[in-house]
Structure 1
């Protein structure tokens, strides 16, 4: 397996907001408030900003490569947005993994497109569609229906907006810890308070949840059998046992590592058959 599950966290791009709204040297907090207020006026109440007005503050990844599995956030605590985005695309260039996300096609990747455009970050492997590499013609990162980027939310919804679900709810349904008390709506406040580490930790647990949901999907898709699924869960479990960070230990404690579901075994079939005959 060569798989990279990822997640990003964002805040308002106050630098662009100051220019768009002609706010002069207004500070970040008040600029962000002005941007959100303007957005509520535009939408009749919704304050979720357009994707090009998001600034990336964390990119976390869960990488399964060879026999290794690990989770980390790109760059150190002081890394700038351009560095984090460059590291993300450099990783795709180097490893060319299968990307896995939850709503990545609808949010994470378009945000990264705009921010890479802003910072002039090259990403040739990501944008390749077969002109220079034949293997990408029928399986690239950009096509919604290809597998090189698997947006789990989109696929599980049958590519229908009305079928989408929240990562936290699906994770909890599968016995995973979910958000651990943090939420995306709190990221801006944490950044204003200078607590970037809380945001990085939260982003890493979302990448973990995404990867573990992906493993379950691989069983459903027929690419992992019961033993393979158990082995992959154990690999993640071993990482968490030795990983530094309280959030990893909280995740491990909250993870109900269930075995593969027991539906469709012979005993169930026999009992159902008996009931139907009765």
Structure 2
């Protein structure tokens, strides 16, 4: 089994960046700076979702499945700075060259990581390889790399299922629940900034990790649909995830498993 890395990010307004770009006075609180940016955005485009380059990454959660195990973990503040979080994510790709899987990763997560990585001086040669390097397998990346929308080295499952039409996109939470998986538990992306202001970084991490597992499970259903897994293999993989959940100490995993049992 080739390594598969499912990932998701959580972000908050880049307060320092907003201050810099708008020459805002130091007396303004972080909340006031964010509200200034939200109001600017609403006036410009009718909503307060900030541009991708002003999304500060505070968590990247990953689920890594290989032939032997499933591991779910987070790279996050305060243990790491934003630059360190992004650098470590790309170092994982450098080491393993996995297939990476996301839900709307091409539309949000990866562009955010591109901009924020650029700001912090992150290096990611393996990720950016497009067949022009001098490595022994460089030419393979000409036909299957992480950057092309239509290659599978990065699979944006939402984009593919919608046949690359934005109007066809479906929410991960809806699809997970319709299949029979737990979906989101107690938080969504719109609540992250408020949770951050209250110092609830652990809750943000937990939310991001359960979302990664939702994506992983929907990906397994997709693998069944496309014939990569047969029914027996799919059932075994789902049973494996349930068994894995039962061994995990985190309260968010206990809640997730309990929600799955009653779904």
TM-score category (smaller protein) = over 0.9
Instruction: For residue 24 of structure 1, report the CA deviation from its aligned partner.
Output: 2.0
Q: 1:146-166 CA distances to partner (integer Å, 9 max, x unpaired)?
A: 000000100000111110010
Deviations 1:136-188 (A, max 9, x none): 11110000000000001000001111100101000111111111121111100
Cα distance, 1:27 vs structure 2: 2.1
Which of 169, 173, 197 aligns to 1:168? It is: 173
Matched, 1:150 2:151: no
Match of 1:113 in 2: 114
Corresponding position of 1:195:
200
Given candidates 205, 216, 229, the residue that maps to 2:221 is 216
> Match for 1:140 among 120, 141, 145?
145
Tell me the SS of whatever aligns to 1:146: coil
Tell me what 2:91 maps to. Answer: 90
Which of 246, 249, 253 pairs up with 1:244? Answer: 249
| Comparing 230-239 and 240-249, the one that deviates more | 230-239
Q: Following TM superposition, by how much is the alpha carbon of 1:257 offset from its aligned partner in structure 2, in angstroms?
A: 9.3
TM (normalized to structure 2)?
0.95
Alignment-derived partner of residue 22 in structure 1: 23
SS at 1:63's partner residue? Answer: strand
| In structure 1, C-alpha distance between the alignment counterparts of 2:59 and 2:248, rounded to whole Å | 19
* Unaligned ranges ≥5, structure 2: none
Question: Which whole-Å CA distance do the structure 1 matches of 2:262 and 2:150 have between them?
Answer: 31
Q: How many residues align?
A: 257
**C-alpha deviation, 1:234, in angstroms:** 1.9
1:4-54 per-position Cα deviation (integer Å, ceiling 9, x unaligned): 0110000000111011222121221111111001100111x2111110110
Q: What is the Cα deviation at residue 66 of structure 1?
A: 2.2
3-state SS of 1:180 partner: coil
Moved more, 213-222 or 248-257: 248-257
Structure 1: 4+ residue segments shifted above 4 A: none
User: How far apart in 1 are the matches of 2:262 and 2:225?
Assistant: 17
What is the CA–CA distance in structure 2 between the aligned matches of 1:46 and 1:76, rounded to whole Å?
27
- SS of the residue corresponding to residue 137 of structure 1 reads helix
The 3-state SS of whatever aligns with 2:101 is strand
Counterparts of 2:70 and 2:157, CA distance in 1:
20
RMSD between superposed Cα atoms in Å: 1.3
* Corresponding position of 2:51: 50
* Alpha-carbon separation, structure 2, partners of 1:134 and 1:68: 30
Question: Equivalent residue for 1:35?
Answer: 37
Contact map agreement 2:76 2:205 (CA 8 A) in 1? no
1:127 aligns with 2:133: no
Cα drift, residue 77 of structure 1: 4.3
Between the aligned partners of 1:83 and 1:65, the Cα distance in structure 2 is 25
Equivalent residue, structure 2, for 1:271:
none
